[in-house]
Amino acid sequence: MLTHFKKIWRLFYESIGVKIVTRAVYDMTVMPMKLIFEESFQYFGPLSECSAGGRPILTPDYLATHTVGVPGTRDVIWNPLYDAAAYPSAGQLLFTFFSNQLGQGTSSAPGAGAVAKSLFDTNLQINNQMTSGNEFYAIGSESLFYPGVSNAALPLGVLPGREGLSTTAGIFANDVWSVGNGGLKTLTVGTDRKYINDGPLFMFPPTTRMALASALSNAISTSASGVAVEVTYAAWSGEPYTLVPIYIQSNQSFQLTVTFAALIPTPSTQIGRLMERLRGYLIRQAT
């Protein structure tokens, strides 16, 4: 029955086509209204079945709205703000993000060494605000935790795939679990106006993560202490944390902090890396 129904609709589309009107101008001073100009596209056959989710029809007027570098206009691009900090193995009560711009603070990028922050750590041009001519439209927040990642020499201290003493089994997942159980995130814009005051960090899952279809753990008793062969990965997961949009103006102060009620050490005893991302759009002057 369903197949027969689809065939009928296919014949219907092919016979009449589908007309998509992108712009129409009417003279409304007379009755009935008179069509002055219409910009449209008409499709027949299989093309008439294309859904709205396909490639958009790019008209000259639409393209003009995205022209780069036109004086007096503004660019709007997808450009989340991010900042990263080292997570000490003993834990820390307060983390302050977006307070060190490029060239300040200390990098936590893997293997970068004890150098100033670069684009591997943050994309903020000035502490706690957007530079003149730039604005930010925030729509979401996410927290990313990387066990065993530090600016010290590589390789990393904790890896999803490990082979070693059985006492190290599960340390990747244990670090993610332990840190995620704590942390109160607070986003303040302007004069003490809080737009995020929520936690723990489990509530702010990353929107992208490494995919792993399976995990394997096997104890091999080849010595008194035993050896573990393990492939395991964990990440905070769930619905992305969305915000009622916040339009941060040029030179308007904002601050993001993560506080802990008590020190939460990493079970691996290794240093980690905590990164904060404000998802949203950068609005900037074109020239």
As a whole number, mean pLDDT of residues 76-102 equals: 96
pLDDT tens figures, 179-218: 999 999 999 999 889 999 999 999 999 999 888 867 776 6
Better pLDDT: 117 or 26: 117
pLDDT above 90 coverage of the chain, percent: 55
pLDDT tens figures, 123-171: 999 999 999 989 999 999 999 999 999 999 888 888 888 776 667 778 9
- Distance, in Å, from the CA atom of 186 to the CA atom of 196, rounded to the nearest integer, reads 5
As a whole number, mean pLDDT of residues 86-95 equals: 97
Closest CA to 234 of 212, 216, 217, 267: 212
pLDDT of the residue at 10: 58
Q: pLDDT class for 2, splitting at 50, 70, 90?
A: low
| Torsion angle defined by CA atoms of residues 171, 177, 182 and 188, in that order, rounded to the nearest 10 degrees | 110
- Distance, in Å, from the CA atom of 91 to the CA atom of 215, rounded to the nearest integer, reads 28
pLDDT of the residue at 161: 82
Q: Is 4 exposed, middle or buried (0-12, 13-18, 19+ CB in 10 A)?
A: exposed
pLDDT tens figures, 209-252: 888 867 776 655 555 556 667 888 899 999 999 999 999 999 99
pLDDT of the residue at 25: 81
- Distance, in Å, from the CA atom of 283 to the CA atom of 75, rounded to the nearest integer, reads 6
Q: pLDDT class for 266, splitting at 50, 70, 90?
A: very high
Task: Write down the pTM of the prediction.
Answer: 0.77
Closest CA to 163 of 230, 219, 214, 234: 230
- Distance, in Å, from the CA atom of 233 to the CA atom of 241, rounded to the nearest integer, reads 22
Place of tokens 């008194």: 224
pLDDT of the residue at 286: 73
For residue 99, pLDDT over 70 is answered with yes
Better pLDDT: 70 or 97: 97
As a whole number, mean pLDDT of residues 39-62 equals: 62
Better pLDDT: 42 or 155: 155
Q: pLDDT class for 121, splitting at 50, 70, 90?
A: very high
Q: Where do the H-state alpha helices sit in the chain?
A: 2-16, 60-64, 171-180
